[in-house]
């Protein structure tokens, strides 16, 4: 069943059918005839033929490092509903933390396949910039800042700053479990937030109070152990993510520390984990789902307005959530 047959059955030209499909000028009478035939036959236009002619795919490529993550799946959820609402389909490419795959997918989306790309990246190399520059479709960077591109990101600095400022009131020897500074957002910005908040509270963050973790609980537990060994009298541990905090919490409890009485602990991200640990984790809500929504909106803008579109940077609010893992917090 194709447009020619529909045209024949409805007694019109195929151009008229096409106009009907693309809301052009069609008389009410023929509109009705066409509508009826399409309903009867269950005709659906071939999207590949449409794409071939019109260069519009209605696909948006979304590249993510992994899917099984609280923060990422929330962002994808926001993207997904916003795209669907605008008639787009989501082509989800998952790199499983392989940076090279990120480039492969970008190249795959290049010139082809998609009307736009949302890249939820973590680390940007020179190679990334090169491929990004060569991309002919609009792109939005999500969860990281990248100069020269429209991007949506959390206020990582302020999340860490606010959290640390709050804790500086109740802790005196404050340590930090962070991640690699190659990650500008979670790595660099959160560390900067912690550091500056301490400075502003007339405290410092000596190097031996800082440990670098991976993004998982095991690493959080291991680094908490290392930190405690080096600085036995530490009384507060701030973690770059809730997952790291959950791991650290697990270790500290197993080491016989009372949380928050002996050591208080906090994370960032307001993940579902933070409500389930005992004590529940003081953390910072980062509006991940809204970030996904906003990224999709920015992309629509770029797609619709082409060259005329204004590049935008959206930094989202954050909200401190005080729970049982810090002194003065309340257990769920």
Partner DNA sequence: ATGAAAGCGCTAACAT
Partner DNA sequence: ATGTTAGCGCTTTCAT
Residues lying near DNA in the complex (CB under 7 A) are found at 2-4, 11-19, 21-22, 24-27, 29-30, 45-46, 49-50, 52-54
Candidates 8, 35, 36, 96: give the one binding a copy of itself (CB under 8 A): 96
Comparing CB distances to DNA, the nearer of 12 and 268 is: 12
Backbone angles phi, psi at 151, to 5 degrees: -145, 160
User: CB under 5 to 8 A by kind: which of a copy of itself, DNA, none does 92 bind?
Assistant: a copy of itself
Distance CA 206, CA 233 (A): 14
* Joined tokens for residue 77: 């959820």
Please identify which residue in the block is written with the tokens 């491929």. Answer: 131
Candidates 52, 126, 229, 310: give the one binding a copy of itself (CB under 8 A): 52
Selected range binding a copy of itself among 31-39, 61-69, 153-161, 188-196, rule: CB under 8 A: 61-69
Selected range binding a copy of itself among 111-119, 189-197, 200-208, 225-233, rule: CB under 8 A: 111-119
User: CB under 5 to 8 A by kind: which of a copy of itself, DNA, none does 278 bind?
Assistant: a copy of itself
Residues forming beta bridges with residue 64, ordered by sequence position: 94
Contact 323, 280 (CB under 8 A): yes
Q: Which of 139, 141, 110, 138 is nearest to 124 (CA)?
A: 141
Query: Is residue 205 within a helix (H) or strand (E), and if so which, with residue range?
Result: none
CA distances from 183 to 44, 86, 220, 324 (A): 45, 32, 17, 29
48 belongs to the binding site for a copy of itself (CB under 8 A)? yes
Q: Which of 202, 189, 193, 327 is nearest to 260 (CA)?
A: 327
* Joined tokens for residue 316: 């989202």
Comparing CB distances to a copy of itself, the nearer of 93 and 186 is: 93
18 belongs to the binding site for a copy of itself (CB under 8 A)? no
Selected range binding a copy of itself among 4-12, 73-81, 175-183, 312-320, rule: CB under 8 A: 73-81
Distance CA 164, CA 298 (A): 32
Q: Please count the helices (runs of H) and the strands (runs of E) in the chain.
A: 12, 12
106 belongs to the binding site for a copy of itself (CB under 8 A)? no
Comparing CB distances to DNA, the nearer of 34 and 322 is: 34
Comparing CB distances to a copy of itself, the nearer of 92 and 231 is: 92
Give 38-44 contacts, CB < 8 A, sequence gap 24+.
38/6, 41/1, 41/5, 41/6, 41/9, 42/1, 43/1, 43/2, 43/5, 43/6
Q: Which of 102, 134, 108, 71 is nearest to 272 (CA)?
A: 71
Selected range binding a copy of itself among 62-70, 144-152, 201-209, 223-231, rule: CB under 8 A: 62-70
Candidates 250, 303, 309, 314: give the one binding a copy of itself (CB under 8 A): 250
Selected range binding a copy of itself among 20-28, 104-112, 145-153, 294-302, rule: CB under 8 A: 104-112
| Pairing of the two strands 313-316 and 150-154 | parallel
User: CB under 5 to 8 A by kind: which of a copy of itself, DNA, none does 29 bind?
Assistant: DNA
Burial group, residue 168, by CB count within 10 angstroms (0-12, 13-18, 19+): buried
Contact residues toward a copy of itself (CB under 8 A) are 44, 46-49, 51-52, 57, 59, 66-70, 73-74, 76-77, 80-81, 84, 89-94, 96, 101, 108, 110-113, 217, 246, 250, 253, 272-273, 275-278, 332
């Amino acid at each position: 069943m194709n447009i020619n047959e529909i045209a024949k059955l409805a007694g019109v030209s195929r151009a008229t059918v096409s106009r009907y499909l693309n809301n052009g000028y069609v008389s009410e009478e023929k509109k009705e005839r066409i509508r009826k035939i399409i309903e009867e036959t269950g005709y659906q236009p071939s999207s590949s033929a449409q794409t071939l002619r019109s260069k519009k795919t209605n696909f948006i490529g979304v590249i993510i490092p992994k899917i099984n993550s609280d923060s990422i799946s929330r962002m994808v959820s926001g993207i997904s509903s916003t795209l669907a609402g605008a008639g787009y389909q989501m082509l989800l490419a998952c790199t499983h933390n392989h940076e090279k795959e990120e480039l492969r997918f970008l190249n795959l989306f290049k010139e082809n396949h998609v009307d736009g790309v949302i890249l939820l990246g973590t680390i940007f190399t020179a190679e990334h910039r090169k491929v990004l520059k060569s991309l002919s479709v609009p792109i939005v960077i999500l969860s990281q800042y990248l100069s020269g591109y429209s991007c949506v990101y959390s206020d990582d600095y302020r999340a860490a700053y606010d959290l640390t400022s709050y804790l500086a009131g109740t802790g005196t020897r404050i340590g930090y479990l962070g991640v690699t500074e190659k990650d500008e957002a979670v790595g660099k910005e959160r560390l900067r937030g912690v550091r500056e908040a301490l400075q502003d509270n007339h405290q410092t963050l000596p190097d031996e109070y800082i440990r670098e973790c991976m993004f998982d609980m095991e690493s959080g537990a291991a680094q908490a152990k290392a930190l405690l060994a080096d600085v036995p009298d530490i009384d507060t541990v701030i973690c770059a993510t809730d997952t790291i905090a959950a791991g650290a919490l697990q270790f500290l409890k197993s080491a016989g520390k009372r949380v928050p009485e002996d050591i208080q602990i906090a994370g960032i991200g307001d993940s579902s984990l933070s409500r389930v640990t005992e004590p529940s984790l003081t953390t910072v809500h980062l509006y991940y789902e809204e970030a996904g929504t906003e990224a999709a909106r920015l992309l629509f803008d770029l797609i619709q307005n082409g060259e005329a579109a204004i590049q935008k940077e959206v930094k989202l609010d954050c909200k401190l959530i005080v729970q049982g893992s810090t002194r003065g917090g309340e257990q769920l």
